[in-house]
Amino acid sequence: MALLYSHHSSISTLVYLQPSLFSLIIMALSIRLQNPIYICIGTIALLQERWLSSKCTDS
């Protein structure tokens, strides 16, 4: 298991991750660093999904 410890926040966080989950997180972060547009497209898709779901509940 991987142990992550954050010194950057005012409240330090201790998180245990399974190795497979840890590698998925590292892979996703490296993709986002290589292609920043990926983040924008994901954010737009998330906002669009929230907007559509709120539109459906308002009807």
- What local confidence, expressed as pLDDT, does residue 35 receive? 72
Compute the distance between CA of residue 43 and CA of residue 37 in angstroms, rounded to an integer: 10
Place 1 in a pLDDT band, splitting at 50, 70 and 90. Answer: very low
pLDDT tens digits, residue range 17-54? Answer: 566 777 777 877 777 777 777 677 777 888 888 888 88
pTM (2 d.p.):
0.37
CA 10 → CA 7, 13, 54, distances in Å?
8, 9, 34
Neighbour count for residue 44 (Cβ, 10 Å): 10
Query: Which of 18, 19, 15, 23 is CA-nearest to residue 31?
Result: 23
